[in-house]
Amino acid sequence: MNENYFLELNYSPAHLLEMIYAEASCTENYYLSPVYISRCDVSKELQTELSKIINAPFVDCGFLKTKPSKQYPLHVDTFRIAAINMPLFEETVGFKSFVFTGKKIETIKYTSNYFTLLNVMEPHGVLNSNTEKERIVLSMGFKNNSYDDLVKRFKDGLLINDIL
């Protein structure tokens, strides 16, 4: 694993999973984002609960959906500088998230229902080659804290408030 691009945070918001899955399942709440990906913003209640866990202000929070047999091509985010992602539903055959390290494409190791910190200033993308299942990820975006700052906070034990 290359920590310059992503870092598994080994934390699951288990007490919020029922609420997260209920919101992610409301298909009528999804819309096409400005970058042409299906998106659903989380409720104020869920955003408040997530902000109690993450000790850094995130500026956006929502579900990103990649439909069957679709991809979100290699890109660098323009509206945020770091993200914490959490895949919902089981990662399955055909789901692939990746970063370009400048030399090669490297697969991002995601675990369902667990947070992973992602450096969105580096080229990254998603491929859903599964012909039947949607891939849905909860994503929290940061504008005021760089990826390196968030990695440092995590390593110092300051990013995740796991005593709730």
Q: What range does the domain containing 114 cover? A: 6-155
What pLDDT digit, counting tens, does each position of 29-58 carry? Answer: 999 877 678 999 999 999 999 999 999 999
Q: Within a domain: residue 1?
A: no
Predicted pLDDT at 75: 93
Position 20 in a domain? yes
Average predicted confidence (pLDDT) for the chain? 92
Alpha helices in 7-162 (DSSP H): 17-24, 44-53, 147-155
- Alpha-carbon distances of 139 from 14, 41, 83, 87, rounded to whole Å: 16, 10, 7, 9
Report yes or no on 163 lying in a domain.
no
What 3-state class would DSSP assign to 50? helix
Tell me if 50 is assigned to some domain. Answer: yes
pLDDT the model gives residue 157: 96
Tell me how many domains the chain contains.
1
CA distances (Å), origin 94, targets 34, 56, 70, 135: 25, 33, 10, 10
Average pLDDT over residues 10-37: 92
Q: Report which of residues 37 and 104 the model is more confident about.
A: 104
The span from the CA of 19 to the CA of 57, in Å, is 21
Shortest CA distance to 54 belongs to which of 160, 134, 157, 164?
160
* Residue range 64-74, pLDDT digits in tens: 999 888 888 89
Question: Does residue 160 lie in a domain region?
Answer: no
**Is 97 among the domain residues?**
yes
10 inside domain: yes
Under DSSP, the state recorded for 54 is B
Tell whether 162 is covered by a domain.
Answer: no
What local confidence, expressed as pLDDT, does residue 121 receive? 97
CATH number at residue 93: 2.60.120.620
pTM for this prediction: 0.94
pLDDT at residue 76 is higher than 80: yes
Q: Evaluate if residue 91 carries a pLDDT over 70.
A: no
